[in-house]
Amino acid sequence: MDQGIVSYPRPRLQARENSTARIVRTHGYTYRKTNHRCKYERCECLLCQLTRVSRLIMRHQQRLWRHLKDARRREEGRGTCW
């Protein structure tokens, strides 16, 4: 059963290097995100609006996660110091 095969998770950098612009992807094209000048920057179609709302929600979620993480660290720090 055990064939000695070990799989390691890929480094997160690869995902960032290969990331593409989301709004452009909704229009059926793929462009790398780095040094990208988006021609759909001002597009107001439904898919672009949904993508922007999705980004906004994710931004707020990340802000909340970071806040909770910092609050936990501060709370743990209070218990050890007099």
Average pLDDT over residues 48-53: 94
The neighbouring-strand residues paired with 60 are none
pLDDT at 82 over 60: no
Give the chain's mean pLDDT: 82
Can you give the pTM of this predicted structure? 0.61
List own/partner pairs for 17-26 with CB under 8 A and 24 or more apart: 22/51, 22/55, 23/48, 23/51, 23/52, 26/51
Higher pLDDT, 7 or 58: 58
pLDDT at 55 over 60: yes
Higher pLDDT, 54 or 20: 54
Question: Who's near 52: CB < 8 A, 6+ residues apart?
Answer: 23
What does the pLDDT read at residue 40? 86
